[in-house]
Every structure is written in C-alpha cells, then in structure tokens.
Amino acid sequence: MITGVAATFALSTDKVIPSSKPDRWDVKKLVRTGLTLAILLFSITVLWIATSILRLGELEAQAFIFVGLVFSAGQAALYVTRTPRFFCEKPYPRKWLILVTILVVLLTVVLATQGWLVAPIEFSLVLILAGLAITFLVVADLFKVMLGV
C-alpha cells in the first residue's frame, strides 16, 4: 500500500497537458485493454516464470509476484496512464514523480532481497522482473497509443 500511495501523491505534482474538452472514457475499452495486458500478459507470465521456469517455492513465488506487481501495476502502469501520448514524450514526468518511483523501486528491492515482510529472493530475480516491467511498460504504451485509449 505504501508503494502505491506514495506514487499517487507524487502524481499529483506531475505536469501533463490538459484536454481541451472534458474527457469521455470508454470504460469497456479500458477494462478490456487493461485486463488483457495486466492479467493475461504480465501477471500470468510472472506466475508462469516463478512456478514453471524458476520452480520457486510458494513463499518465494509470492515475493516474486509481489515485486512484479509493484514494478508493473504500481510503477509502469502509472507512467502508461499519465498521458495519452507515449510515456517518453513531452511533457516529461516531474522530478517528484521520478524520485518517488526510484524510492519505491529501491524499497521494494530491499524488502524482497533482504526478506523483510516477504520471503527473500535473489537480486537476479528482481532484475528479471525489472526487465519484464520495462517490457510491459513499452508494450502497454504502444497498445494505448495504437488503440487511442
């Protein structure tokens, strides 16, 4: 909860380009796209990697999935949703958002590798999840822009 709340507070200081007219959300399209990307692609991939490829025990798999969720749903998704454009285009995220992202990632790495509140996992597994989260960020951002979500 701390990781999500901190990022949300930092998002309130972010600079984005406001819409010229009130936004109309296509909730069905958003839900369909979000479920497809988050649940079917990322979450199932992380679970499959933890259990089938890495053959982690139950507690280590839970820690692996926790880190994956913080990196993808907590951080990558935040950057995907902050603007209708590509996340790497102007307006760039403000320093507070970037700082909080760095702190949340570092806190998550310490929790997972030191075994605080979760079973300890190797740093190399955290790096795998960071790579997967960056891949998720790029793929989700491409889908967002292509679908006009």
The two three-digit tokens of residue 125, written as one number: 């597994």
- The residue ranges of every structural domain in the chain are 27-147
Average pLDDT over residues 15-22: 71
Which backbone phi and psi does 54 adopt, to 5 degrees? -85, -20
Q: What is the pLDDT of residues 38-57, one digit of tens each?
A: 666 788 889 999 999 999 99
Q: What is the pLDDT of residues 108-131, one digit of tens each?
A: 999 999 999 999 999 999 999 999
> Which range has the top average pLDDT, 14-23, 58-67, 74-83?
58-67
**Global pTM exceeds 0.85:** no
The verdict on whether omega for the bond into residue 91 sits within 30 degrees of 0, i.e. cis, is yes
SS3 77: helix
CA–CA distance, 147 with 51 (Å, rounded to integer): 33
